[in-house]
């Protein structure tokens, strides 16, 4: 019975122990998010550049 309790304790400790994180896996994710965001902005800007420029101009003129 003592061996089973010891094995269960070890099993619990292995499952709940903090794991070391490999930060290298996060970099490609952030690069992908940044590149995709820039691509979306470029796509929207190429389609609606005149409207967006007009909206920005009107907003800035209303502040003056």
Q: Which residue has the tokens 């309790």?
A: 5
pTM above 0.85, yes or no: no
pLDDT tens-digit series, residues 32-45: 899 999 999 999 99
Dihedrals phi, psi of 15, to nearest 5 degrees: -75, -30
- Which two three-digit tokens encode residue 41? 């902005």
Contact call for residues 52 and 45 (beta carbons, < 8 A)? yes
The number of residues in the chain equals 64
pLDDT tens-digit series, residues 4-18: 888 888 888 888 888
Spatial CB neighbours of 44, under 8 Å, sequence gap ≥ 6 = 52
């Amino acid at each position: 019975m003592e061996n089973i309790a010891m094995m269960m304790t070890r099993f619990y400790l292995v499952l709940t122990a903090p794991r070391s994180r490999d930060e290298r896996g996060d970099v490609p994710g952030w690069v992908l998010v940044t590149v995709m965001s820039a691509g979306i902005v470029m796509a929207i800007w190429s389609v609606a550049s005149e409207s967006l420029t007009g909206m920005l101009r009107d907003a800035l003129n209303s502040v003056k």
